[in-house]
Amino acid sequence: MSGPFDTPFEALPERLPVFPLCGALLLPRCRLPLNIFEPRYLQMTEDALAANRLIGMVQPVDVSCDVRLPPLFETGCAGRITSFSETDDGRILIILTGVTRFRVAEELDVGAPYRQVVPDWQPFREDMVEPADGIIDRDRLYASLRVYFEARDLDTDWEMLQGATDEHLVNSLAMSCPFGFTEKQALLEAHGLRERGDLILSLLDMAALDEASDDLPLH
Q: How far apart are CA 210 and CA 126, in angstroms?
A: 35
- What average pLDDT does the segment 180-204 reach? 96
Q: For residue 216, what pLDDT is reported?
A: 45
Q: Which pTM was predicted? A: 0.90
pLDDT tens digits, residue range 54-74? 999 999 998 766 667 889 999
Residues above pLDDT 90, as percent of the chain: 79
pLDDT tens digits, residue range 129-147? 999 999 999 999 999 999 9
Alpha carbons within 13 A on the beta-carbon side of 168: 9
Q: Is 57 exposed, middle or buried (0-12, 13-18, 19+ CB in 10 A)?
A: buried
pLDDT tens digits, residue range 4-40? 778 899 999 999 999 999 999 999 999 999 999 999 9
